[in-house]
Amino acid sequence: MHHKRKQGAISMNVMIVDDEVLTRTNVKYILEAEIPAYTGTTSYMLCGEAGSGAEALEKLPVCRPDIVLSDMRMPGMNGLELCETLHKQYPHIQFIALSNYDDYEYVRGTLQNGAVDYLLKHHLYAKELSEALDKARERICGGGVPLSQLSGNNTAALRREFLLHLLTGFYTDSQEVDSRIRTLELPLASSRILPIAMCLDDYRSDSLRNNDLTNYSIINIVSEILSDQKNGVICYAEQGNYAILLSFAHTFSENAVSSVIHAALTRIRTCMSRFLNLSVSFSIGVLCPSFQQLPEAFQAVSEQLQNRFYQQPGGIVESFAPNAQADIFNYFNEEKENTLTFLVLAGDAAGVQEEIDDLFGYIRNARPPLPMAQMLFTDLLGVLNRICKQQALDMRDIYTDDVLPEKHLGEMSSLSSVHNWFSALFARLCAALQARTAHPVSIYVKQATSYIHAHFCEDISLASAAHEVNVTNVYLSRLFKQELGIGFNEYLMQVRIKRAQLLLQQGKLSLRQIAECCGFQDYTYFLKVFKKQSGVTPKEYQRSCLCNSPQ
């Protein structure tokens, strides 16, 4: 079935610019074969091809295109730079952007420089390309495109197109803006507009990327909420980010404005969680007297939204400057790494979790620049990987999937998600080490060993441990020998000596101080036990550690 176009229309010259030959071939086929079949006419003629923006500019005098179809991401001069150059030097040439990415920055840049449309390559068909070319034709022949003659897309697509134009500074005429608002039946005024940026906190997860149904549901739910207030609209911007515009043309009380904003965001947050199981964060902009201030205001809230990493998901992102002076590397130093390693090897899962919690609490309070925090996360992964290697553990038991841990880190949008991820990793690490002990352990032995790890530096004994777990001394001693193969005191000495070895490696305390820190009341007895279990004296052990450490 043909989509008939008026007969006798002037033929337009079209240039295709893309660094990928296959893409140029596909667009050329649509232009020369599919569009004529769809429209029943040949109104657009290919006049030239180019593999880069620079090559396109060189060919302009010869090819003389009326319309340029250009990819956005190309080596050398990219599509955005080509669009800017054409807008300044060849304003009569109409520009249509092609891209694999629904990237707001490219949309914003091209539309600000007069682009006719922004088309996604994976959704490029004869109908979509024909409609975009027709819009370019109307600009060339008539100057401006009446809403009644825009593309045949549904109302939602037309509204999004208008709102993106509004947010990117495309419009300057208030009468034109008011006219389009009326035609599209948007519950919005062109004055006293407040922009809000909204994002999905877990957008980078595989279940949300490229999920059209999720995006459709979000738009519908938020639109319904805003329609109740009759003063707001929403549109999709890019990669899990949305723009919400609230107008307060007849509301001048700050308390009333604040109340409307709070009510809307609370309902949106609740509905996203209840109906879609999604968490969303917001960044609230300033009230713009006119639509002309919207582009700058929305850009500001979009940038502010990037600061949400240090805030709890599902909230309103506050403005703050990252602390470039945060001394996180001196905080998570060699001593901290050694302490964490010792606790893991000692099987003290509670102590490991406490160390993880302390570290992430410090990061949240310090708020270093994100690259600095990511370097520390890499160091923490290094500690975990070294333990796995030294203990000959299968890392698949720790990471549980085939995704590189660095990729997981890159996909996490909040400090809380990173914190939870590392907590789970170290919990699995402790469990894997504990599982290698072939002996089944009763609840009494588990409680007693936990008691030892928590109080080994104190004057504890078999009697105090038995009292703690509510059994007799004889019964607890028998359980240790049956289940662990060693007696209570031997197990206690192993924990104390492991701690002493760690402190000797750090080299910050004297031998007497180390003995006291590890629960030895008798210094001579400490020296005797250490040599018996380690095979060398404490001084010899420390000397060997210093010789083997990197300079």
Bridge partners (DSSP) of residue 97 are 70, 118
Q: Is the pLDDT of residue 533 over 70?
A: yes
d(CA 284, CA 198): 9
Full DSSP string of 68-83: EEEES--SSS-HHHHH
d(CA 491, CA 545): 24
Q: Given strand 44-50, what is the order of strands in its sheet?
A: 44-50, 12-17, 67-71, 94-99, 117-120
Question: Helix or strand or coil: residue 358?
Answer: helix
Would you state the pLDDT for residue 144? 41
- Residue 44 belongs to what H/E stretch? strand 44-50
Q: Is the pLDDT of residue 453 over 50?
A: yes
Q: Domain ranges in the chain?
A: 1-153, 157-173+185-320, 328-435, 443-548
Would you state the pLDDT for residue 64? 86
Full DSSP string of 33-61: IIHHHHHSS--EEEEEEESSHHHHHHHHH
Nearest CA-CA partner of 201 in 246, 164, 163, 239: 239
**CB atoms < 10 A from the CB of 127, how many?**
17
Span 109-132, mean pLDDT?
83
CATH of domain 157-173+185-320: 3.30.70.1230
Span 100-122, mean pLDDT?
74
User: Which of 68-72, 336-340, 505-509 has maximum average pLDDT?
Assistant: 68-72
Query: 133 versus 319: which is more confidently predicted?
Result: 133
Q: Which two tokens mark 123?
A: 């959704």
d(CA 375, CA 382): 11
Q: Is the pLDDT of residue 238 over 90?
A: no
Q: What is the pLDDT of residues 19-68, one digit of tens each?
A: 988 888 889 999 988 998 888 888 899 999 999 999 999 998 888 898 99
Would you state the pLDDT for residue 22? 86
Nearest CA-CA partner of 533 in 504, 490, 503: 490
Span 86-107, mean pLDDT?
78
Q: Note the pTM of the prediction, 2 decimals.
A: 0.51
User: To the nearest whole number, what is the mean pLDDT of the chain?
Assistant: 83
Domain spanning 443-548: which superfamily?
Answer: Homeodomain-like (1.10.10.60)
**CB atoms < 10 A from the CB of 67, how many?**
23
- Per-residue 3-state assignment (H helix, E strand, C coil) for 217-243: HHHHHHHHHHHHHCCEEEEEEECCEEE
Query: 403 versus 172: which is more confidently predicted?
Result: 172
Span 476-492, mean pLDDT?
90
Q: Which two tokens mark 499?
A: 């701690």
Q: Is the pLDDT of residue 437 over 70?
A: no
Span 529-533, mean pLDDT?
91
Q: Is the pLDDT of residue 137 over 70?
A: yes
- Residue 45 belongs to what H/E stretch? strand 44-50
Q: Which two tokens mark 381?
A: 């992964």
Q: Is the pLDDT of residue 146 over 60?
A: no
Backbone angles phi, psi at 391, to 5 degrees: -95, 5
Q: Is the pLDDT of residue 479 over 80?
A: yes
Would you state the pLDDT for residue 96? 92
Q: Locate all alpha helices (DSSP H) within 346-414, ordered by sequence.
A: 349-366, 370-390, 396-399, 405-410
Range 1-153: architecture per CATH: 3-Layer(aba) Sandwich (3.40)
Q: What is the pLDDT of residues 284-334, one digit of tens each?
A: 999 999 999 999 999 999 888 877 788 777 888 866 555 666 666 677 888
For residue 431, the one-letter residue type is A
CB of 116 closer than 8 Å to CB of 95: yes
Place of tokens 């008011």: 178
Query: 467 versus 157: which is more confidently predicted?
Result: 467
Would you state the pLDDT for residue 246? 96
Would you state the pLDDT for residue 262? 93
CB of 44 closer than 8 Å to CB of 36: no
Q: Is the pLDDT of residue 377 over 50?
A: yes
Place of tokens 């893991």: 344
Would you state the pLDDT for residue 14? 94
- Residue 94 belongs to what H/E stretch? strand 94-99
Bridge partners (DSSP) of residue 313 are none
What's the pLDDT band for 6 if we cut at 50, 70, 90?
A: very low
Q: Which two tokens mark 545?
A: 């550690």
**CB atoms < 10 A from the CB of 303, how many?**
12
